[in-house]
Homo-oligomer: A and B are copies of this chain.
């Protein structure tokens, strides 16, 4: 089966094993997961259940932490012409959890120009309402307001540009083309853009750790060539799979196709209805399902429980067993998820109401933000790693 994974297109059924090989990243081993559990005092379900499945240098991050050198977190969201959906939260939830457990700084980039440069939207104005909305959605998640810096490119560029120039000087077109598949129709702005996305990995003279979906790896593969030349650390990555859309296993959640996703600004009752129409691993008839059991491994409803809506490991196992043995039918299983999704949206939308103040702290006058508005890039002596 054919598939393509670049930071701008994910299509087809993804073969994660092949992706690990092709990208040259490592699977997270049980040993490494054990060490993370020990240092973090527990494991986030997204790690426990293997949704974050691959990494680069996570072992080095944990060693840096153990030996007192520390590390920092970096992730981001490129605003588009549609609202964020539930799947978009995943890297942020992982980043917040890591921040909580390790007490480290987190940098959140809002590349408000990327979709325009990638020709996914026709103007910056089209994106503008979502820039604000996305920032509030992220701010509402509860990051440490003094250890988190949220910045949008067109506003923070004055501080980033000199670093971007240094990064860009070390990336030749042939390399960028090989990594991103740039072609004749690519805008010269998108060709430069990877330099900008790399800049936040140079914000501290420590190892960065980037929780993100695996399609973002190409940027950071480049980062790992360039950063040591500027005297900074190769970034580490914690890489996730893609969340299934409502239409079936392996399908994409797309904010621009409302039937595939739950949007964060959606009416909670409408969202509940969408869940009731989700693709499941159920049988053709109730009778058949009672007799043969359902298939949670192809069930979008079960997938969503496991990622975002059932933290309790035992409860998840029981749900799986009950399904497999025909004791739990799709109707009640979907109804329960619909309720949880509804409650989640209600809560999130309530939190949005005072996210404005939080956003201001994390963008402008919190402790880390204040410091970053005085940040200036300095290249250092090349590093050996």
Contacts and interface: CB of A to CB of B under 8 A. Distances in A.
Interface of A: 113, 116-117, 119, 123-124, 153-154, 157-158, 161-162, 164-166, 168-174, 176-177, 182-192, 194-195, 379
Contacts of A161: 153-154, 157, 161
A176 B183 CA distance: 12
B169 A173 contact: no
A168 B182 CA distance: 15
Given A123-B379, A157-B157, A188 B172 contact: yes
6 contacts: A113-B165, A117-B165, A124-B166, A124-B379, A157-B161, A188-B191
Nearest to A178: B184
Contacts of A172: 184-188
B158 A171 contact: no
Given A124-B166, A157-B161, 17 more contacts: A117-B169, A119-B169, A123-B379, A154-B161, A154-B162, A154-B165, A157-B157, A165-B189, A168-B190, A169-B189, A172-B184, A172-B185, A172-B186, A173-B186, A173-B188, A188-B192, A189-B192
A121 to B, nearest CB: 10
B187 A168 contact: yes
A176 to B, nearest CB: 5
Given A116-B169, A162-B124, A168-B117, A188 B194 contact: yes
B165 A185 contact: no
Contacts of A192: 168, 188-189, 191-192
Contacts of A113: 162, 165
A182 B173 CA distance: 9
A289 to B, nearest CB: 52
A164 B187 CA distance: 12
Q: Which of A124, A162, A174, A189 has the most CB of B within 10 A?
A: A189
Contacts of A124: 162, 165-166, 379
A116 B194 contact: no
A340 to B, nearest CB: 40
